[in-house]
Amino acid sequence: MNPDARNNYYMVWMSFAVAMILNLLPLPKALELFWPDWVAMALIYWIVAIPHRVGILTAWLIGLFIDALEGSVLGLHALSFSIMAYFSLLLYQRIRLFPRVKQALVVALLIGVQMLLTLWLKNLTQPIERTMSYWLPLMSNAILWPWVFILLRDLRRQFRIN
């Protein structure tokens, strides 16, 4: 182990906190339709970057915290984030090798799985009617992924998170 390497794991949790704040921002209705899932993108990044530190348990804890913040059924986001984290862990070595455009498509697919599970679980508790606009954030997740990746990669390098 490199004695100069610091373990600034708290920065991972700070990035999740910032992502949760971004998810909870009150927005105009037009912008809300396209608002990406910042927490899911941060979770996928950290799973791909440091899979030995961030995994299914982290996804489950973050999902529980989001359930508490949003006032949804406890465990709803925890389960969907855990399944998304499982698929991310299965694919993390491939995702690392992909160019950013292909990474963005895979990230959109992973977040789409998470959104589909969340929608299905919400429908189990109370019937809700969603339109096709429910899926619009997938496009903004794919478009913003390269910038989120670069930002979090620079954070990881600056603070030497390992």
Tell me the pLDDT of the chain (162 aa) as tens digits: 455 556 789 999 999 999 999 999 999 988 999 999 999 999 999 999 999 999 999 999 999 999 999 999 999 999 999 999 999 999 999 999 999 999 999 999 999 999 999 999 999 988 888 889 999 999 999 999 999 999 999 999 999 998
Q: What letter would DSSP give residue 3?
A: T
Distance CA 109, CA 138 (A): 8
At 35, list the tokens: 């608002």
Is this structure's pTM higher than 0.85?
A: yes
Between vectors from CA 69 to CA 85 and to CA 134, what angle results, nearest 5°?
Answer: 65
CA pair distance 139, 136, nearest whole angstrom: 6
CA distance 122 to 76: 8
Residue located via tokens 């530190």: 53
Query: What are the tens digits of pLDDT across the range 7-48?
Result: 789 999 999 999 999 999 999 988 999 999 999 999 999 999
Of the CA atoms within 13 Å of residue 97, those in its CB half-sphere come to: 3
Q: Give the tokens for residue 148.
A: 């989120």
Instruction: Specify the DSSP element, H or E, that contains 11.
Output: helix 10-24
In whole angstroms, what is the distance from residue 133 CA to residue 14 CA?
A: 30
How many Å apart are CA 142 and CA 34, to the nearest integer? 11
